[in-house]
Amino acid sequence: MGLVYADITLSNLEDISLFRRKYISEKEIRRIEVKSLVDSGAYMLVVPEHIKLQLGLSVIEQREVELADGKISLCDIVGYIEIRFANRMAVCNAFVMGNEVLLGAIPMEELDVIIEPRNQRLIVNPENPTMPKMKIK
């Protein structure tokens, strides 16, 4: 299977909260549409520094992360981010590194999406086409 990419929308959740409380207009919400590498072998959402800056995301903390090559790196965690794909929405933090957006397994679980290997694309879970479904126990 080759690389799978998906078009997703990332938004600053703090801006969305300000909009809902009528402190800013909807057009002031910082959001960006990006082509994301979909990687079910990765855990979290990863965004490059320029996306962090465009969305105005705050650093929440730093953590050590182990990369695919085994190297350990100190990484900023930023938040809070709303992810949208098709008729799905998830909220998460993101690690800041690299040069492309990477959608990992945890936000994929919350979105209730799957990788369709035959067509190499991300799709809404066909078992739950109208809304995401999650197990909570």
Mean pLDDT, the chain, as a whole number? 94
**Per-residue pLDDT at 135 exceeds 90:** no
Q: Where are the domains of the chain?
A: 4-124
Closest CA relative to residue 123, chosen from 93, 96, 85: 85
Check residues 66 and 62 and name the one with the higher pLDDT.
62
**Per-residue pLDDT at 1 exceeds 90:** no
Q: What is the CATH number of domain 4-124?
A: 2.40.70.10
**Per-residue pLDDT at 112 exceeds 70:** yes
Calpha distance 25→123 (Å, rounded): 31
Mapped onto helix, strand or coil, the DSSP state of residue 116 is strand
Using a cut of 0.85, tell me whether the model's pTM lies above it: yes
- Please give the structure tokens belonging to residue 37: 């590498």
**Per-residue pLDDT at 23 exceeds 90:** yes
Which helix (H) or strand (E) segment holds residue 109: the answer is: helix 105-111
